Amino acid sequence: MNSVAPGSLTRRLSVGLALLSLTVLAMVCSAAFGWAYLGLSEQQVERLDRTRVQLEHLFKEARETGDERLLTHKLGDVLVGQTLLSVEILRNDGSLFFRWSGNSPGEAQRLLRLALPAPDASGSLWQTRLALDVSADAATLSLLAASLSAAAAVGALLIAAGGSVLVRRGLQPVRRLVVQTRALSAETRDRRLDGSAQPDELAPLVLQFNQLLGRLQSAFDRLEAFNADVAHELATPLSTLIGSTEIALRRDRSNEELRVVLECNLEELQRLARIVQDMLFLAHADHGTQARRQPVASLAQLLWRVASFHEAALAEHSLMVQVQGDAAADIDSSLIERAASNLLSNAARYARRGSIVQLVVRTDREEVQLQVENEGETIAADRVGRVFDRFYRAETSRKNADRHHGLGLSIVAAIAQMHGGSPFAHSSQGRTTVGFTLRRTASSEAVSAPLPTEPSESHKTKEVTP
What's the CA gap between 158 and 128, in Å, rounded?
A: 54
Residues near 463 by beta carbon (within 8 Å), at least 6 away in sequence: 314, 315, 318, 319, 320
DSSP string, 70-138: HHHHHHHHHTTT-TTEEEEEE-TTS-EEEEE--SS--SSEEEEEEEEE-SSTT--EEEEEEEEE-HHHH
pLDDT of residue 41: 92
pLDDT at 395: 55
User: Which of 389, 396, 399, 387 has the alpha carbon at shortest distance from 427?
Assistant: 387
d(CA 25, CA 32): 10
CA distance 176 to 155: 32
Q: Does the CA dihedral 260-263-269-275 come out positive or negative?
A: negative
Distance CA 449, CA 218 (A): 39
Asked whether the CA dihedral 102, 107, 111, 117 is positive or negative, the reply is: positive
Q: Is 162 helix (H, G, I), strand (E, B) or coil?
A: helix
φ/ψ (deg, to 5) at 171 = -90, 5
Return the closest-CA partner of residue 357 out of 390, 315, 326, 399.
Answer: 315
Count other Cβ atoms within 10 Å, centred on residue 276. 12
> % helix / strand / coil in the chain, to the nearest 5?
55, 15, 30
Tell me the C-alpha distance between 120 and 118, whole Å.
Answer: 5
Distance, CA of 35 to CA of 277 (rounded, Å): 86
**If we measure between CA atoms, which residue out of 369, 318, 373 comes closest to residue 344?**
373
CA dihedral 252, 257, 258, 259 (to 10 degrees): 160
Name residue 125's amino acid: L
- pLDDT, residue 161, reads 86
Q: What is the CATH number of domain 294-462?
A: 3.30.565.10
pLDDT at 461: 46
User: Domain ranges in the chain?
Assistant: 9-161, 224-286, 294-462
What is the CB neighbour count within 10 angstroms for residue 420?
16
Task: Tell me the C-alpha distance between 255 and 30, whole Å.
Answer: 109
**Mean pLDDT score of the chain, rounded to an integer?**
82
Distance of CA 341 to the CA centre of its chain: 41
Distance, CA of 282 to chain centre? 30
Say what the pLDDT of residue 82 is: 83
> For the domain bounded by 224-286, which CATH number is listed?
1.10.287.130
In the predicted model, residues of the chain with pLDDT beneath 70 are 1-7, 103-106, 229, 233, 393-405, 442-466
pLDDT of residue 447: 40
Chain-centre distance for alpha carbon 388: 31
Q: Strand order of the sheet with strand 367-375?
A: 423-428, 431-439, 367-375, 356-363, 320-324, 461-462
Element (H, E) at 254: none
Asked whether the CA dihedral 25, 27, 31, 34 is positive or negative, the reply is positive
What's the pLDDT at 403? 53
- Can 224-286 and 294-462 be said to share one CATH topology? no
226-240 burial: b if 16+ Cβ within 10 Å, else e: beebbeebbebbeeb
Quote the pLDDT of residue 143: 93
